[in-house]
Copies of this chain bind each other. A is one copy, B any other.
């Protein structure tokens, strides 16, 4: 069992010494530590993971004791414990490749989480969800019912104590209100190399422009459409031989990979946001 501490604060002397000494004095065996100084914004960002065996503070005491160091350095911080399994909800529409990928990776043991529910405005995903023993909730949406549906979806998320929402090619735009309730807890995959081809039908736009590589991006959702902090991107080569359908097919592999990396890094507490960017502690 391990604990993971994520910290960001203004950069100044003595931060590492203070943290390392605190952890050492309480018997922590540090397994990984990674830090980053962003010279432009003068921020110090750190991830440290230690073995709880031999560590003499329980969660409540740690909270209280570490707070005094945190105050001293004006830290924003959070701690996670590996025995508290994160709970996922997956939103999906009618393209199932990302959903199938996440469910399979979960089964393989790649993703340290519980998948509580699959929520969809279509019925195609139902049998796949059931095959993986995940409850499926059908929530059809129209322009008229959107806010009411979102209210119901939020109830579902609360019932299941969800703390990460994965938009696995969910083709509805969530309202600013909905998004506001889950800051940095919603991960989306956009099927273009952002910021190129933001918005709808990016493969068609890429085809029309005649690009030689297509891409895919995973990002946290904010109230700016396709504008949140980018977590991961990848590309694949295309040529004049590829029609739009080929771009869509090649793109599916990219979407699965960039989305699943983002989800895994989030679950492993490897992502720190600052400004509109992410640090990935890999």
Question: Interface residues, chain A, CB within 8 Å of chain B?
Answer: 13-14, 16-17, 20-21, 23-24, 27-40, 96-97, 100, 104, 108, 110, 127, 131, 193-197, 209-213, 215, 217, 229-235, 237, 239-241, 243, 249, 252-253, 257, 275-280, 282
| Cβ B13 vs Cβ A16 within 8 A | no
Q: What is the oligomeric copy number?
A: 4
State in angstroms the CA–CA spacing of A12 and B170 once bound together: 42
CB-CB under 8 A from A17, the residues of chain B are: 17, 20-21, 23-24
Q: B residues within 8 A CB of A39?
A: 243
- Residues of chain B within 8 A (CB-CB) of A232 are 212
5 additional A-B residue pairs with CB within 8 Å, beyond A193-B196, A209-B230: A13-B29, A36-B241, A40-B243, A212-B230, A213-B234
Chain B contacts for A35, CB-based, 8 A: 33-34
In the bound assembly, the distance between CA atoms of A27 and B17 in angstroms comes to 12
Measured between beta carbons, the chain B residues less than 8 angstroms from A31 are 37
Alpha-carbon distance between A233 and B20 when the two chains are bound, in angstroms: 35
B210 touches A277 (CB 8 A): yes
**Residues in B neighbouring A38, C-beta threshold 8 A:** 240
Return chain B residues, CB-CB under 8 Å to A231: 212
Contact indicator A213/B193 (Cβ below 8 Å): yes
Instruction: Kindly list chain B residues whose C-beta atoms are within 8 Å of the C-beta of A131.
Output: 127, 131
By the criterion CB–CB under 8 Å, are A233 and B257 in contact? no
State A202–B101 Cα separation when bound (angstroms): 25
Does A37 contact B28, Cβ atoms closer than 8 Å? no
- The smallest beta-carbon distance between A73 and chain B, in angstroms, is 13
B110 touches A249 (CB 8 A): yes
Tell whether, in the assembled complex, residue A16 and residue B30 are in contact, meaning their CB atoms are under 8 Å apart: yes
